[in-house]
């Protein structure tokens, strides 16, 4: 089957073209200087579509008859894991950004636009708002504020399934802790095929990352607001884009930070060690949440290419369970696989209704 996959990121649009059984991947880069000219994510739609259609034309892929087009899922309302048809309710919530603004919101909208040209189905797969959390994991410690499930669901579930196959098991047979280590960091407890607890890496929860603050001492944040140091909008930007390693070292490039540490910068070395320390603590906390019944720990995402990060985490957590390292992201492959499951009937596509209980087609 011929399938086009579209995966928008903050400064790129990754594309996967599957035809004649072969997958070709590419990344269309968008200079940060150009992206900063847009005030909202949906303002980028025409710009990204122009670049996508140009790529398809230049590679001859615009002549392909697609069986389906699949996009990265965005920040819609909490939903169960699965493959979703892109229809009006889903489009509406992607465009509105009902759970927040993120480049991923463009995935389903772009997939629908391309699919509509040929009258074929458009899908999204395992959006970041998958909610399979235990009730006990939702309580935050303050009535009126609930812990929310928002994480790198697509990649986490893809690598979890891969590790399960390597172990000769199904995903539903294992308990895994999966840590996606990238610009944002999310660590999920995968119990028998469901992510029963996970930190919200976008909105200030869990370990700090190259650009996100992770969890912060609440009183310290309130004091900054009282002092007028930052507006609430400025603080939101810091939490999501200008915190973590960037706030300490002025860079989100881990390679730069590691080079500074190798050159004798003790502060850079401490910042990196603290990030690794917090990642390991999060993994340890989820091991306790799973009552120690952990079949494996999986590190994935861009930071898993770092020998320093992997070695530091390994040293602190390998006593819990075997460690599997799957560096990089497998989102294009996961999108293609999800669309194939829906097209072949291996998995029934869901119809999004704007709530946690969705109907299957």
pLDDT of residue 10: 84
Q: What is the largest CA-CA distance in the chain?
A: 62
Query: How many angstroms separate the CA atoms of 13 and 283, rounded?
Result: 31
DSSP string, 88-126: HHHHHHHHHTTT---TTHHHHHHHHHHHHHHT--EEEES
Coil/strand/helix, residue 319: coil
Query: How many angstroms separate the CA atoms of 145 and 225, rounded?
Result: 19
pTM, entire model: 0.91
* Nearest residue to 283 (alpha-carbon basis) of 305, 298, 303: 298
Looking at the structure, give the CATH architecture of the domain made up of residues 135-327: 2-Layer Sandwich (3.30)
Model confidence pLDDT, tens digit, residues 194-237: 999 999 988 889 999 999 999 999 999 999 999 999 999 999 98
The answer to whether domain 3-129+331-360 and domain 135-327 are alike in fold is yes
Q: Token pair for residue 299?
A: 């590190």
Segments making up each domain of the chain, as ranges: 3-129+331-360, 135-327
What CA–CA distances, in Å, run from 51 to 48, 108, 262, 316? 5, 16, 39, 44
CATH 3.40.630.190 fits 3-129+331-360, yes or no: no
pLDDT of residue 355: 57
Q: Which residue positions in the chain have pLDDT lower than 50?
A: 356-361
Q: Token pair for residue 64?
A: 């392909």
């Amino acid at each position: 089957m011929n399938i086009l996959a579209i995966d928008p990121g903050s400064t790129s649009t990754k594309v996967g073209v599957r035809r004649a059984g072969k997958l070709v991947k590419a990344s269309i880069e968008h200079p940060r200087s150009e992206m900063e000219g847009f005030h909202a994510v949906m303002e980028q739609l025409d710009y990204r579509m122009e670049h996508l259609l140009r790529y398809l034309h230049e590679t001859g892929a615009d002549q392909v008859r697609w069986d389906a087009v699949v996009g990265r899922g965005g920040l819609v309302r909490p939903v169960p894991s699965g493959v979703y048809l892109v229809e009006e309710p889903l489009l509406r919530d992607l465009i509105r950004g009902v759970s927040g603004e993120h480049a991923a919101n463009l995935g389903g909208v772009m997939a629908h636009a391309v699919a509509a040209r040929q009258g074929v189905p458009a899908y999204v797969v395992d959006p970041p708002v998958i909610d399979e959390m235990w009730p006990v994991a939702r309580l935050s410690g303050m009535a009126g504020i609930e812990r929310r499930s928002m994480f790198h669901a697509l990649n986490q579930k893809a690598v979890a399934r891969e590790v399960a196959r390597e172990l000769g098991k199904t995903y539903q047979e294992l308990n895994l802790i999966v840590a996606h280590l990238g610009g944002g960091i999310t660590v999920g407890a995968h119990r028998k095929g469901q992510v029963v607890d996970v930190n919200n890496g976008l909105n200030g929860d869990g370990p700090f990352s190259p650009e996100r603050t992770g969890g912060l001492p609440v009183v310290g944040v309130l004091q900054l607001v009282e002092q007028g140091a930052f507006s609430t909008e400025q603080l939101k930007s810091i939490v999501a884009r200008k915190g973590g390693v960037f706030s300490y070292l002025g860079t989100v490039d881990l390679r730069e930070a590691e080079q500074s540490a190798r050159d004798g910068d003790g502060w850079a070395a401490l910042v990196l060690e603290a990030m690794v320390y917090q990642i390991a603590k999060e993994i340890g906390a989820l091991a306790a949440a799973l009552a120690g019944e952990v079949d494996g720990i999986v590190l994935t995402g861009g930071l898993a290419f770092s020998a320093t990060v992997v070695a530091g985490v390994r040293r602190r957590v390998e006593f819990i369970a075997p460690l599997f390292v799957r560096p990089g992201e497998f989102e294009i492959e996961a999108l293609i696989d999800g669309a194939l499951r829906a097209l072949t009937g291996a998995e029934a596509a869901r119809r999004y209704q704007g709530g946690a209980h969705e109907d299957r087609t």
